Amino acid sequence: MSNQLVTIKDMIFNWVPVEIKTVRLKGGKMHKLIFKTIVIMTFIGFGLTSILNVAFAAQKKYKIGVTVIVSHPALEGVQKGFEQALKDAGLDVTYDYQNAQGDMATAHAIAQKFAQDDSFDLIHAIATPTAQAACKLIKDKPVVYDSVTDPVGAGLVKSFAPDGRNVTGLSDEWDIDLQISTYLQVVPTAKTWGTVYNAGDANSLKSISLTRAALEKRNLKLIEITVSSSNEVYAAAQSLAGRVDAIYISSDNIAVSAFEAITRVANQHKIPLFAGDTGSVARGAIMALGYNYYKTGYACAQLAIQILRDGKKPGDLASIRVADIEDILELHLSVINAKTQNVTLSDSLIQRAQKSGGKVYQ
């Protein structure tokens, strides 16, 4: 670092105008030294500070607490993207991973643990319930929320603009109207749709309200079955058999964490199954028009980088809308699952999926 500073100082003298150099030389050694000091200190004030911040950040070891409501491929993708972004930024980070297993009491206990431990530099709160717990209990550390449908409605921030508090993050609200429009190309005669979700999750309530609106505008019906744990998902899905023409699973973390249970029912009763989480196609859905969650985690990490490396305050950073991220929406589909559930996928949809960068399971 000392050699780097000498080089920077020498560069400064080369930038000083000729007439100023003349004044410096006429002043003798004392004035020459003072002038050098003034120039260098001025440079430090206006430019070197940022260089030193980056160098310091690269050397410092950081500790980040990660709290997630449940584990499933989308949320795992979020954390992988987040970690890769910090690694690419040159930050040395260790992580403390905590999974609430779908239980809000556990989510609050995790948040309380993080709040009381001064060794954490930042908290990465994935999904609405865990983000709510973290924002409620942690006031003296940066909290970066991730994969939250409606952060304003959930009470995490007052608006998407810089909030002034210790919180910022990323909203992953889906375009559910576009999803339903796309899925109807596969099942145009489906009049009654079913869904399973946790009514205790603000994220899910928002998603279901958007789902209901998308179907109602097309004069279609939605049958809603609520659950409070993943153990209830199979029975909930079973209750839809014989009552619905198709099933759509939103961003509900409880339902997604037990997606295989819904797949068993859909396959057994030949009910077309659709999702918004692209990772659910590999687990039994026919199709999902959704975000690449590795990319959303990578994008959210840019906020953490600004906080840790650049010294910015969370409250000075606007929250991110994932829909504003370029090339984030992908169509994934499965010819195999479609055949199992007794529907056919058109060549145009397969081509659309391939063009979007999504996976096609043949």
Pair (215, 347) in one structural domain = yes
Tens digits of per-residue pLDDT, 259-271? 999 999 999 999 9
The per-residue pLDDT for 283 is 96
Pair (161, 235) in one structural domain = no
* Distances in whole angstroms, Cα of residue 251 to Cα of each of 173, 238, 255, 265, 337: 9, 20, 8, 19, 20
Pair (180, 308) in one structural domain = no
What pTM does this model have? 0.76
The per-residue pLDDT for 5 is 38
Pair (349, 241) in one structural domain = yes
Confidence of residue 38 (pLDDT cuts 50, 70, 90): very low
CB 121 within 8 A of CB 308: yes
Pair (35, 93) in one structural domain = no
Per-residue b/e over 224-233, b at no fewer than 16 CB within 10 Å?
ebbbeebebb
* Final residue in a domain of this structure, among 57, 75, 97: 57
Please give the mean pLDDT across all residues of the chain: 87
- Give me the CATH number covering residue 102: 3.40.50.2300
Pair (36, 126) in one structural domain = no
- In the chain, what percentage of residues exceed pLDDT 90? 76
Query: Locate tokens 């717990």: which residue?
Result: 133
Lowest mean pLDDT among 24-28, 316-320, 324-328: 24-28
Beta strands in 216-259 (DSSP E): 221-227, 246-249
pLDDT at residue 146 is higher than 70: yes
Pair (31, 165) in one structural domain = no
Pair (159, 181) in one structural domain = no
Neighbours of 20 (CB within 10 A): 11
Pair (224, 352) in one structural domain = yes
The tally of domains found in the chain comes to 3
* Distances in whole angstroms, Cα of residue 205 to Cα of each of 4, 197, 200: 55, 8, 8
Pair (7, 111) in one structural domain = no
Dihedrals φ, ψ of 299, to 5°?
Answer: -65, -40
pLDDT at residue 43 is higher than 70: no
Beta strands in 199-345 (DSSP E): 221-227, 246-249, 273-275, 287-291, 320-321, 329-334
Dihedrals φ, ψ of 52, to 5°?
Answer: -65, -35
Lowest mean pLDDT among 26-35, 110-119, 231-240: 26-35
pLDDT at residue 36 is higher than 60: no
Tens digits of per-residue pLDDT, 170-194? 999 899 999 999 999 999 999 999 9
Residue 71 CA to residue 96 CA, distance in Å, equals 15
The arithmetic mean of pLDDT across residues 10-31, rounded, is 40
pLDDT at residue 15 is higher than 80: no
Residue 309 CA to residue 52 CA, distance in Å, equals 10
Structure tokens at 90: 């040159």
Q: Which domain holds residue 129?
A: 60-173+293-324
pLDDT at residue 236 is higher than 50: yes
Tens digits of per-residue pLDDT, 121-132? 999 999 999 999
Parallel, antiparallel or unpaired: strands 287-291 and 329-334: antiparallel
Confidence of residue 333 (pLDDT cuts 50, 70, 90): very high
Residue 303 CA to residue 91 CA, distance in Å, equals 13
Pair (191, 336) in one structural domain = yes
Burial (CB < 10 A; 0-12, 13-18, 19+), residue 298, is buried
Pair (35, 94) in one structural domain = no
Per-residue b/e over 111-129, b at no fewer than 16 CB within 10 Å?
beebbeeeebbbbbbbbbb
